[in-house]
Amino acid sequence: MAISTPDGPLIYDEQNYLGEDPGLTRVYDNIMGTVPGVLLPAVKMVVWNAIEEFYWRSTWRRELLNWCMPSNVICVDFNPFDGNWLVAWVLDVYGCGQYTVRPPSMIVDVGHPPASGAREGKALVALKPVSLDAEFDPQLFMNWFETILDGSLYRLYLQPVKPYSSPQLASAHAKQFRVGCQRARAIAQKQYTNGPGRWTFNYYADGRRKS
Amino acid sequence: MLMTRPTVGQLLLDARAVLNDTVPITGSTRYSDTDLFQAFNAALFEARAKRPDAFLEMGLRIDVPSFGPGDELQLFPLDQIFYPLFLNYIVGKSELREDEFAAEGRAVAMLNKFVTGLLQVAS
């Protein structure tokens, strides 16, 4: 907000603009400063939907868990992960035996005959936040601010008979959101290295010339 | 800067000003509090149907609140951007009443302005 002082030039007070939480409030301000006639509760609703879809689609937040099944137990449920996060996907299970995943967060030992004794292993899981009040990882708004903004805007523009309804803008932002999710997923799959992601071997290492 | 949310009573007072509601000779008002509160409640129903997002904070799975005489000090229940639209509606709805002072053309224009303001950017 611009404030004029009696003996000086205008001072730009950015406290109300950026807010205490420059992540989430920055998203709110960007949306409410862009979309005419939109209300804060509606903005919060679409931002939360966008954040949840982002984590669900991109599997951006991944954790490697150690699990242990005691004797006579055939399943382990990883939910809730903690107070702020839930397991959305079990991406991989490591351990001796045969396991199947029961979505979203349970692994079941399907070995026959049932194994006796305790079994243990590891599981790679993707997480999503419990609610908009959860503590998001700092990288969400640092690296994926535009993606969350796109995901929120396309939901707003897609709403029928609102002052801000616009199928064309909704389509454009939806496309950008999906691209952002795919990019986040690719980076997460490469274990958060935005490089080639795999070791490169000499051309003769696998017995054929590199094309 | 003083930031206060307007009250329902203030909205009705503003509506009376636009309606030029005081009869010069007698000093009485043409529209009773009950009439204006009914118009206000009707505006809430219309807004609930056309802009459900305005009621997100209040709750969408509950009945639309209704107001009556005695509720003048209650805060305007929706976002302040709807205040001028509600003013239009109350004036328009009141002017629809058949009497010698009412301007029917203005009533229709005010009611249309209410709907347009809810659904479009253009004023």
| Tokens of residue A46, six digits | 């679409």
User: Is B57's Cβ below 8 Å from some Cβ in A?
Assistant: yes
Of A184, A204, A187, A203, give the one whose Cα is nearest residue A195.
A187
Task: Give residue A9's pLDDT.
Answer: 55
The sheet with strand A99-102 has its strands ordered as: A75-77, A106-109, A99-102
User: Within 13 A of B116's CA, how many CA atoms are on the CB side?
Assistant: 10
On whether any CB of chain B is under 8 Å from the CB of A169, the answer is: no
CB of A37 less than 8 A from some CB of B? yes
Strand order in the sheet with A85-95: A62-69, A119-129, A85-95
- Interchain contact A161–B (C-beta under 8 A): yes
pLDDT of residue A18: 60
Of B10-19, B31-40, B62-71, B94-103, give the lowest mean pLDDT range: B94-103
A111-to-A99, A116, A202 alpha-carbon distances in Å: 7, 10, 40
Residue A136 · residue A129 · CB < 8 Å? yes
Size of chain B in residues: 123
Please give the structure tokens belonging to residue A93.
Answer: 């299970």
**pLDDT at residue B89 is higher than 90:** yes
Give the domain ranges of chain A.
2-58+134-189, 62-131
One DSSP character per residue, A134-160 reads: S---THHHHHSHHHHHHHHHHHHHHST
pLDDT band at B2 (very low <50, low <70, confident <90, very high): low
Nearest to A39 among B54, B119, B120 (CB): B54
| Cis amide prior to B24 (ω within 30 degrees) | no
Tell me whether B79 touches chain A (CB under 8 Å): yes
pLDDT at A88: 96
What pLDDT sits at residue A15? Answer: 58
Cα distance between residue B123 and residue B111, in whole Å: 12
State how far residue B56 is from chain A, nearest Cα, in angstroms. 6
Question: CB distance A163–B79 less than 8 Å?
Answer: no
Model confidence at B102, pLDDT cuts 50, 70, 90, reads: low
Taking 70 as the pLDDT cut, the residues of chain A under it are: 1-21, 194-211
pLDDT surpasses 60 at B76: yes
pLDDT at B122: 67
> Which residue among A37, A40, A159 sits closest to B121, beta carbon to beta carbon?
A37
Chain A neighbors of B121, CB-CB under 8 A: 36-37, 163-164
How far, rounded to the nearest angstrom, does the alpha carbon of residue A186 sit from its chain's CA centroid?
12
What CA–CA distance (Å, rounded) separates A54 from A148?
Answer: 7
Check CB contact under 8 Å for B121 and A39. no
- What are A146's two structure tokens? 């535009």
CB contact under 8 A, A42 and B121: no
